[in-house]
Structure formats: structure tokens, C-alpha cells
A and B are shown apart, each in its own frame.
Chain A
Amino acid sequence: MSVTTPDRVPVTILTGFLGSGKTTLLNRILSENHGKRIAVIENEFGEIGIDNDLVVSADEEIFEMNNGCICCTVRGDLIRILGTLMRRRDRFDHVLIETTGLADPAPVVQTFFVDDELKAQLELDAVVTVVDACHVALHLDQSSECQEQIAFADVVLLNKADLVSAQELCALATRVSAMNRWARCHHTVRCEVPLDNVLGIRAFDLGRAQEVDPGILSDTTHEHDTSVSSVGIDLPGDVHAGRLEKWLRKLLAERGADIFRMKGVLSVAGSDRQLVFQGVHMLFESSEGRPWGRAPRRSKIVLIGRGLDVAGIDKGFRRCLA
């Protein structure tokens, strides 16, 4: 095992189509007087202001991992570059990774699940997706990358909000939240948003997974839909550890490629602590959370994926009840 540094440096992944305002947000983050020293890894040559910060251009290098999960890819360039940057004595306070407009965010996120060295020194903070409110409707219909960028997001900025009507903006917000129910959505003009809303989110922190809100149970009638949606299930009572593990393993083996993200807080029979977990495609991380104490024991999961068999997932999860 690697030695875990107590204070891991947070990493924000910035995605969004070309022209969405990603670079505007990046420049705002860099120019704002937040006293943080930020390292930026960008994939497109842009005009970026550098002051106290470091900007490194990297060519996206996607590596397939032969670690048993069929769809696992990582960003080799990030492992290489961050491996070197993190050895510096004057460490950065925050790392920002900008992806190319058409990038699938999965390899970037998976890199931080798979590489032990990076995992010991860096922690994913959030995936922030900038969306051009004016043009995204078209992209959403035509581009799977655009759908995936929203599906992976913890924070969505509906940018250029001034260029669409209030009605259009509202319809767009509804559509985004149907795809991804846990992302926090902000309406912005020129990406003007308090930086607290994009940095320091700690969305991948298992210790904060209690905040998972499954919302209302998804409509179970859309069984043959191939679009991106999220499912939330919240059941009172305990789950059976063995059955749950078997069910999750099978679900991820069969549908892992279509499940972008997953989070849950579970009440496992026989344990007085919460079991919190989260996953990206087939990669999976879990740990013991806080004790239940006198709080009512319940188990909730949220999944975001493509063409999710909502009824099947609901049935499968219910069968895990102890």
C-alpha cells in the first residue's frame, strides 16, 4: 500500500464543449484572488493567464487497463505529469484538469480510482461541466459525449443564460436534472459563479456520501429508453451484505459500460455503521460511514446511466433487503 498523505490535494475536472465557456471559467478561477496555488492541466492550447499558477499542456493519452474490468481506461498523460508535479516540495493547493471539448470524462475520473500513487496524494473534488445554454439542446440530441459530460457532472453551469429565454432555461434545467439528479445546477453568464460553487465540492468524498439524495423514485415506465437518466431508490430497513454484493457485481458486469456513476448509503444487516460507496463504470469504492445511532435505518442508491432498466434495478435492489 502507498503511504497516504493526510491532506490530499483536491482535483477538479472541467468538461464542456468547445465554446461553452470552459476557458472563461478557468480564467476566472485563476484570476480570482483566492490565495490558492493552482496547477492546471489543459488539453487545448488556450490563452490562459498564468500568475502564481502553473499551466501544463498535455496530449490526451488514453490507456486501456488490463485489470479485469473490460471498459476501464485511464489517462496515461495525467499519471505521468501529476506523478512528477506532486513530488515538488511546494505543492499546489488545487489541481484543475481541463478536458477537450469532445472528451468522455470517464478516463479522467477512472485515473484517480486506479492509480495508487495519485490516489494517495490527490482526491477528486468534483466534475464541473460547463454547458452552452444556447446550443446544448442540439448537442444533447446528437452527441453522446455531451450527454456523458452531463451524466458525470457534480456541478453543471448552464452558461450563456442571458442568451435564452427564461422558459428555455427552465426546460433545459429540467432536462439536465432528469439526466443527472445529483448535479447542482447553476445558471451563469460568462461563467460568473461564486467559486465556492465550483471548487471544494468534495463530491467524491465518501465521508460526505450521507448527503446522497435519491429524490423521488424514477418513473419506471421508460424501460427501453437509450438516453441518459438517473435512478434513485430509497428503502427503509437493512440490506443483506452477501446478496447486495452479488447483485452489484452482476449489475456492473452486465451493465457497467452504461452506468456512468453510482453512489449509495446502505444499512447493512449486522453492522451499526453506514456503508457508503460510489462507483464510476465498473470501478467501485466503499467504506464504513458514520454510526446509525438512533437514526432510522434505510438504504439508498443513485445511479446515472444510459438506457437504465429502472424497473429491473429497482427489483434487484429490493431483493437485497434483509
Chain B
Amino acid sequence: MPGQLASVWSRQLADHAADLRFAPGGRVLAAATLAGTVAVLDASTGELLSEPKGHPGGTLSLAWSPDGSLFATGGQDGRVRVCRPGGEPVFETPSGRAWIEHMAFSPDGLKLAVGAGRMARVYDRSGQLLADQGGHGSTISALCWMGRRLVTACYGGVQLLEFGKPGTPHFLEYTGSILALAPSPDGKWLASGNQDGSLRIWKVDCAAEFAMSGYPTKVKALVFSGDGSTLVAAGGAEVTLWDFSGAGPVGRTPKVLEGHAGTVTAVGWAGHRVLSVSEDGTLRSWPASSDRGEIVWEGRLPLDRLAVAPGGVAAAFADRSGNISLVSLDDR
């Protein structure tokens, strides 16, 4: 295929990758597998650097602190484990009944937030529990930080908990099942992808709320561009781009990128380019200026995890069998 790059490397993991993330700096890539193992890989070669202790039943989530000095994992055993990138343990929590599926370090790197069933737990770098936040009507389905605010979603809406400011959390209600969250980099907007095939957009400070429905499947993949001007969201085989510049997306028609032959499972940004992976087995790249995507990589099995290296120089992705591959993007 013209324009197609060979992958830089491919590596078979013990099982499907539940989570895949580059360390800050982009030299290291970590993968959590449903076999329970964790693999820390050299991003340039795919070589295994270390195998931090995993989670029996399946490792489901992982996170890097923004300075790259801490690495956290969570899994089906209900345990949170934090270690150094080399594997030296820092702390771990007791096991529990609730799966640990979502976790994120705060932008200042001082706190680790974790979703454990209907509780959002926040730990400091030494494992001290700083908050054990309830108020969720169902299992936390997505979690992110917007500055000092911890944002958690579940069926029924979004909760914003401001740290260092006493007071009750702020709720954004929505009668529906939220599957994924995307905060805009400037903290102005919060978008959710939902089970009912819709996007919900909140202008956070005035709690104004907008719905964009009509996606053919549930919406699980959505990410703002680095400059905050565009939100990419996928439902079915289509990738949509919403223009958030100026007054925002309300009343605007999204740009629709067509080409995938199967449900798009993950999206990301490499600079101004959109990347998408799909059940059709392809990784596609969509230049900002055109609506024609090109196939960067094509395999036999459905792809469903995507991580873009800092600076957009490479993309790593996983297929259903647990094979992960990395392609270089810097010459494109």
C-alpha cells in the first residue's frame, strides 16, 4: 500500500492490552494485560525493560506521574500498586472487591486518583489516602483531572471535586451512562461519550450543557486536540471532528472522516493529525487539511488500544490477541 510504513516493532504480550501508555518523554511504553501482567518496554525497540508485579485476574489500568518518577497500576484484584519505573515498590493498597479500571495522576503529580466501584480514592505519593469520595450512584466509569479538580463520571452524571477548596462537590447531571470523558486543555469544556450514542458537552463554569446525538454506536473514544480547538470523537466507523474554536461547537456541523470499515475503537492526536484505530484492523492518519485518511498500518485482527507518544512522533496500538506494535510518525 502506498504510504504505508512498516511497524518499527511488534511484540506479543501475555494477553490483550487493557491499557497502554507512554511515559512522559516517550522513551518508555507500559502495557497492562488481561493476563494480569504489566510490561514496561523500550519504545524504540520494544525490548522488555521490566515487569512490575501485576494483578491476578487482570491488570486493567495504569498511569505515569507527569515527571515519570512513579508508575501506578490497578486491576481485577481491587488493588492499587505504585512503583518506580524500574519496578521498586513504593506502596500498595489492600485488595478489594471493586475492580480498579480508571486511574490518573493530578497534573502537579502529587496525587493519584483511582476509581474503585462507587468511590473515588485519592492517594498522595506515599500512599496516604487523601480522599475517599462517594456520591456516585453507580460504578465510576471514567475519571480525569482538570487542574485541581478531580472529575469522575458514572451513570447519572459527572462529579467535580475541587482540592484545596473546602465545599461540596459540584455535579453535572445527565440521565445516561457515561463511558468516557475528555477535558479541554484550557479547562473550559468537558465532553463525555455515552452508551446511548451521544456526546454531551458541558461548559464547565456556567454548567451549560449540550447534547450531540445520533452516533450509530456507543461513544467511547474522544480526545481534545492539544490546542483545544478540536474534539475528535468516534462512533461506529466514523470519526467526527467538532470545532471548539471561538464560541464553541454549538450550531456547527462536525467534519466527518470516513474510511474505516469497522467500528473505531480509539482515537488520538499526533500534532494536528488525527489517528484512529478500528475493528477493521487499520491505524489511519487524517491530516488536518484533508478529509482523506491514509492507512498507516494494517493487520488481520481488530485493533482497540492506541497511545500516541509525546510530540506525536510515534503511535503504539494493540490488537485483540495482545500483540502491540509501534509505528514511527515523525517523517510523515
Interface residues of A (CB under 8 A from B): 1-3, 54, 57, 59, 61, 63-67, 76-77, 79-81, 84, 87-90, 115-117
Contact = CB atoms under 8 A, between A and B. Distances in A.
Contacts of B218: 115-117
A77 B196 contact: no
B155 A63 contact: yes
Given A76-B177, A84-B60, A1 B262 contact: yes
Contacts of A115: 195, 218
B321 interface: yes
Contact of B262 (A3, A54, A88): A3
B97 interface: yes
Tell which of B138, B198, B279, B321 has the most Cβ of chain A within 10 Å: B138
The size bracket of the interface on B is: 35 or more
A3 B280 CA distance: 8
Given A84-B60, A87-B34, A2 B263 contact: yes
B263 A3 contact: yes
Nearest to B217: A116
Contacts of A64: 175-176
A67 to B, nearest CB: 6
Interface string B29-67: 000001100000000000000000000011010000000
B320 interface: yes
Given A2-B217, A61-B155, 6 more contacts: A3-B279, A3-B302, A65-B176, A67-B196, A90-B15, A115-B218
Contacts of B280: 3
Contacts of A67: 196-197
A88 B15 contact: yes
29 contacts: A2-B279, A3-B262, A3-B280, A57-B97, A59-B139, A61-B138, A61-B155, A63-B138, A63-B176, A65-B177, A65-B195, A65-B196, A66-B175, A66-B176, A76-B138, A77-B138, A77-B139, A79-B177, A80-B141, A84-B18, A84-B60, A84-B99, A87-B304, A88-B34, A88-B35, A90-B15, A115-B218, A116-B263, A117-B218
Contacts of A116: 217-218, 263
A275 B46 CA distance: 53
Interface in B124-182: 138-139, 141, 155, 175-177
Contacts of B321: 89
A288 to B, nearest CB: 22
Tell which of A57, A63, A64 has the most Cβ of chain B within 10 Å: A63
Contacts of B141: 80
A80 B302 contact: no
A89 B322 CA distance: 8
A90 B139 CA distance: 26
B282 to A, nearest CB: 13
Interface in B195-239: 195-198, 216-218, 236-237
B221 to A, nearest CB: 13
Contact of A1 (B16, B97, B177, B236): B236
A63 B195 contact: yes
Nearest to B281: A3
Contacts of B18: 84, 87
Contacts of A87: 16, 18, 34, 304, 320
A196 to B, nearest CB: 31
A153 to B, nearest CB: 27
Given A64-B175, A116-B218, A76 B155 contact: yes
A63 B177 CA distance: 7
Contacts of B304: 87
B138 A66 contact: no
A79 B177 CA distance: 11
B35 to A, nearest CB: 8
Contacts of A59: 117, 139
A191 B234 CA distance: 47
A317 to B, nearest CB: 32
Contacts of A54: 57
A66 B174 CA distance: 11
Contact of B15 (A76, A80, A89): A89
A310 B16 CA distance: 51
Contacts of A1: 216, 236-237, 262-263
B97 A84 contact: no
B317 to A, nearest CB: 15
A3 B261 CA distance: 10
B139 A61 contact: yes
Tell which of A64, A67, A87 has the most Cβ of chain B within 10 Å: A87
A66 B214 CA distance: 12
A152 B175 CA distance: 27
A91 B280 CA distance: 21
B155 A88 contact: no
Contacts of B197: 67
A58 to B, nearest CB: 9
A92 to B, nearest CB: 13
Nearest to A114: B195
A89 B18 CA distance: 12
Contact of B139 (A66, A80, A84): A80
Given A88-B15, A115-B218, A79 B195 contact: yes
